[in-house]
Chains A and B, each alone.
Chain A
Amino acid sequence: AQSVTQPDARVTVSEGASLQLRCKYSSSVTPYLFWYVQYPRQGLQLLLKYYSGDPVVQGVNGFEAEFSKSNSSFHLRKASVHWSDSAVYFCAVSIGGGNYKPTFGKGTSLVVHP
């Protein structure tokens, strides 16, 4: 079984500041990892995903995430946030073996002040 913890329910930053949203996972095998974003009144959209290779993976809109096996983490980062990045961000994990049922975290609400 897998689980995901997003320890920060809400993060507030100023426009132009750097950002890190935290995600910790628990899995008995190396999982598939995802970050999704949900803008107001829209469905969740994929930002980026990771399974193997370079532990730093690039996503859309300048987002990147770094996988750490030793820390069981997959933190999301952005060098300079824009007010339009205000949204809810979900981390998700899935294990393989033909049983593709992603488990989501509770989400982190990001508020960017102009």
Chain B
Amino acid sequence: DTTVKQNPRYKLARVGKPVNLICSQTMNHDTMYWYQKKPNQAPKLLLFYYDKILNREADTFEKFQSSRPNNSFCSLYIGSAGLEYSAMYLCASSRDRRANYAEQFFGPGTRLTVL
């Protein structure tokens, strides 16, 4: 099974409330990524886990948190949602982050709307 699953597919949140998005894969990939995708913009890397090590991008460091309780699952956590967080959130995994040629496998995304 080469699929990456994301839950929920659609999420409605209120301004100031927390949001937790879930991603899972059963390919035993050691690296999992979270991207934010807004209309007419490129997917923007937010953070990635290499095994148990979390790497967050500098410009979004304080806005997003993540956890990876085991190899298969990875969450994206927003402590206090703002209107600017409305976007599609894409989860991806790859076999080995150190393999520069590694293919990424993407989930279908979670569309977050903040009101």
Contacts and interface: CB of A to CB of B under 8 A. Distances in A.
B101 A43 contact: no
Contacts, number: 59
Interface residues of B, number: 25
Interface of A: 4, 9, 32, 34, 36, 38, 41-46, 49, 51, 90, 94-98, 100-107
A106 B35 CA distance: 13
Interface string B91-115: 0101001111111111111000000
7 contacts: A32-B101, A34-B103, A49-B101, A98-B98, A102-B45, A104-B43, A107-B42
Interface of B: 4, 31, 35, 40-43, 45, 48, 90, 92, 94, 97-109
Q: Is the interface of B mostly helix, strand, loop or mixed?
A: loop
B94 to A, nearest CB: 7
B43 A43 contact: no
Contacts of A42: 108
Given A32-B100, A100-B94, A43 B109 contact: yes
Contacts of B101: 32, 49, 51
Given A43-B90, A43-B109, A100 B102 contact: yes
A23 to B, nearest CB: 12
A41 B103 contact: no
Contact of A43 (B4, B31, B42, B103): B4
B103 A94 contact: no
Count chain A CB atoms within 10 A of each CB in B35, B92, B105, B106 and give the residue with the most: B106
A101 B98 CA distance: 10
Contact of A49 (B41, B103, B108): B103
